[in-house]
Amino acid sequence: MECSEILKYLNILYVEDEKGIRETLKDVFEDDFNSFEVAKDGKDGLEKFKNKSFDIVITDIEMPFMNGMELTKSIKDISPSTPVILLTAYSEKKRLFEAIDVGVNKYLVKPFTPEKLLDTICEIAKKFKSFKIKIGDDLYYDKEKKALFKKDNTLIKLTKKENLFLELLVNKKNKVVSIKEIKEYVWGDGNFSETALRALVKRVRQKSSKELIKNFPSLGYGIFY
């Protein structure tokens, strides 16, 4: 999976006390990720982390109220598996060993380019994030392989259109996907009819589960699990 594809699945928390840097990176990166939220200091970052699910936390080291080391330790106490990237102006070994001790997964020494940060995020995501999304009691969709599997890891074979349809619904999981959006994503400029869509839905349900795809008459379809 290409880096640009990986980023689209990630929910990022970026903690930085310097407003200009914080807002600039949010503007630069916001469209690259599923979500890119910012916090103004360690205390604010910890509150946001407690209230939402993030795949990766990026934090500056020097901040008021709670520094990056303290924030990392608190995050790891709550969720040991959540990767943390530490941004630091320090390069001396003693400080970096301290970062490792509190659970920092990767550090970047300032200054660095936005491209370097994106590469680091991709590296961490490939190592720590699972792209297998559970969509039913016995089903999961592997976003990296773009394939549907049973709980026992058996591949469920889908046609190209069936897989595109399922991929779209997984990407919009817990939302109603409009018929218009399904038409554009699955059929493109090809011949489309609601009869063909209903037949496609029926086939996917037969291959997976009758309960997998929810129908919202005249609106669209969705996966809610």
Can you list the residues of the chain whose pLDDT is less than 70? 91-95, 99, 130
Residue labelled with tokens 């990296």: 144
Residue length, the chain?
225
- pLDDT score recorded for residue 44: 96
Angle between helices 194-207 and 160-171 (to 10 degrees): 80
Q: Given 3.20.130.10, 1.10.760.10, 1.10.1240.10, 1.10.10.10, which CATH number is that of 132-222?
A: 1.10.10.10
What CATH number belongs to 3-128? 3.40.50.2300
Write down the pLDDT at residue 92: 62
Q: What is the pLDDT of residue 128?
A: 80
Distance CA 44, CA 15 (A): 8
In this structure, the number of other CB atoms found within 10 A of the CB of residue 196 comes to 15
**What pLDDT score does 93 carry?**
65
Residue extent(s) of CATH 3.40.50.2300 domains in the chain: 3-128
Whether pTM > 0.85 for this model: the answer is: no
User: For residue 193, what pLDDT is reported?
Assistant: 96
pLDDT of the residue at 45: 96
Using the 8-state DSSP alphabet, how is residue 62 labeled?
S
* Tens-place pLDDT, residues 133-179: 889 989 999 887 889 999 888 899 999 999 999 999 998 999 999 99
Q: Show the tokens assigned to 223.
A: 């996966």
Enumerate the CATH 1.10.10.10 domain ranges in the chain, comma separated.
Answer: 132-222
